[in-house]
């Protein structure tokens, strides 16, 4: 059943405000964000120590509570209870928009399921800030979050976005970026990328070049600060490794540039079996890879393949 939220209709339950905070420069803060943080009953913060500095700077004395990945199972239901009783709560992350690659998304989901109004108070965002200064296409883009740490999982994760035509944005730490870039080179090919760091701060920097050039740059200039990596989408120049380990034209998805997607003549079942037959992926991962190739939901591929197995 459809659920319609009218954010400012004055309903009896409280409101959950998603308030953007600065990603570096304190002047990123909006007038509306400051007013909202002053007017709500409670501020739920990912890191109360960091947020308290911000509140002190803007002379905000609202009650501050902790909500983060490690306590969300306990604090989430309590915040929902307070919202249902009529309290207004502002959710903030360490920097930028809350609920993006952080546990705030769980609180938003639970609030929305209970008919509680969820209201955005927009502001700075690192991924979009990096995108608009990148010089790469902005008509279509994908935010992919943080890459996995383990090499096998990282390669599989990169393979799942290799056919994305839009520009790709991801976050990476200074300790991991020198490991992530070589994996990107291997799986995605030598695409154009932008490494943006210290956004909106005094030492803001955007390094633009191919993956190979950026790897060489980091060898001469050790990484500092948190990075947003912006990667060009699939193009005629982007090449990488195919699923069987050979070099493939990622732009067309076809080994040796045959001119059409290599799987276009395959049924879903045959597509999945292609990956299973290489002996490197189990059925679950084969379905995941097939879904990524075809821009489908994993459950739709799974259901179609299961029906085929049952009938056949």
Tens digits of per-residue pLDDT, 47-77? Answer: 999 999 999 999 999 999 999 989 999 999 9
Q: Which of 61-65, 98-102, 279-283 has the highest mean pLDDT?
A: 61-65
- Tell me the per-residue pLDDT of 109-139, one tens digit each, with 9 for 90 and over: 999 999 999 999 999 999 999 999 999 999 9
Helix residue ranges per DSSP H, 22-144: 31-39, 48-57, 72-84, 104-113, 126-134
pLDDT(260) > 60: no
Residues above pLDDT 90, as percent of the chain: 64
Report the half-sphere exposure of 61 (CA within 13 A, side-chain side).
0
Residues 206 and 169: beta-carbon distance below 8 Å: no
pLDDT at residue 233, rounded to an integer? 94
Query: In the predicted model, is pLDDT for residue 250 greater than 50?
Result: no
Tell me the average pLDDT of the chain. 87
Q: What pLDDT is stored for residue 310 in this prediction?
A: 64
Residue listed under structure tokens 């409280």: 14
| Model pLDDT, residue 245 | 40
**C-alpha–C-alpha distance, residues 140 and 233, integer Å:** 9
Position 2 confidence tier, pLDDT thresholds 50, 70, 90: confident
Of 129, 137, 125, 134, residue with least CA distance to 214: 134
Helix (H) / strand (E) containing 213: helix 211-220
**pTM of the full predicted structure?**
0.73
How large a percentage of the chain has pLDDT more than 70?
88
Task: Judge whether residue 287 has pLDDT over 80.
Answer: yes
Tell me the range of 54-68, 155-169, 254-268, 287-301 where mean pLDDT is highest.
Answer: 54-68
> What confidence category does residue 259 fall into, taking pLDDT thresholds of 50, 70 and 90?
very low
Three-state SS for 32?
A: helix
């Amino acid at each position: 059943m459809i659920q319609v939220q009218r954010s400012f209709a004055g309903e009896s339950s409280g409101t959950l405000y998603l308030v953007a905070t600065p990603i570096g420069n304190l002047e990123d803060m909006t007038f509306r964000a400051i007013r909202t943080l002053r007017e709500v009953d409670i501020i739920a913060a990912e890191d109360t120590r960091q947020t308290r500095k911000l509140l002190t700077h803007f002379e905000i004395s609202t009650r501050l509570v902790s909500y983060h990945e490690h306590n969300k199972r306990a604090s989430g239901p309590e915040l929902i209870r307070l919202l249902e009783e009529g309290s207004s709560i502002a959710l903030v992350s360490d920097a930028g928009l809350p609920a993006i690659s952080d546990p705030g998304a769980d609180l938003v989901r639970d609030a929305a399921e209970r008919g509680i109004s969820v209201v955005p108070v927009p502001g700075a965002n690192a991924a979009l800030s990096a995108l608009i200064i990148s010089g790469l296409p902005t008509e279509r883009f994908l935010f992919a979050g943080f890459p996995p740490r383990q090499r096998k999982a990282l390669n599989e994760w990169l393979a799942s976005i290799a056919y994305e035509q839009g520009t790709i944005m991801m976050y990476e730490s200074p300790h991991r970026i020198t490991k992530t870039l070589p994996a990107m080179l291997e799986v995605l090919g030598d695409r154009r990328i932008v490494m943006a760091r210290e956004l909106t701060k005094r030492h803001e920097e955007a390094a633009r070049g191919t993956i190979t050039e950026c790897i060489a740059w980091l060898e001469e200039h050790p990484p500092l600060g948190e990075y947003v990596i912006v990667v060009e989408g699939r193009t005629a120049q982007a090449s990488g490794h195919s699923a069987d380990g050979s070099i493939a034209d990622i732009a067309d998805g076809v080994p040796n540039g045959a001119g059409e997607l290599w799987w276009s003549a395959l049924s879903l079942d045959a597509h999945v079996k292609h990956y299973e037959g290489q002996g490197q992926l189990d059925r679950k991962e084969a379905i995941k890879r097939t879904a990524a190739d075809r821009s489908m939901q994993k459950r739709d591929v799974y259901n179609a393949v299961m029906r085929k197995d049952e009938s056949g």
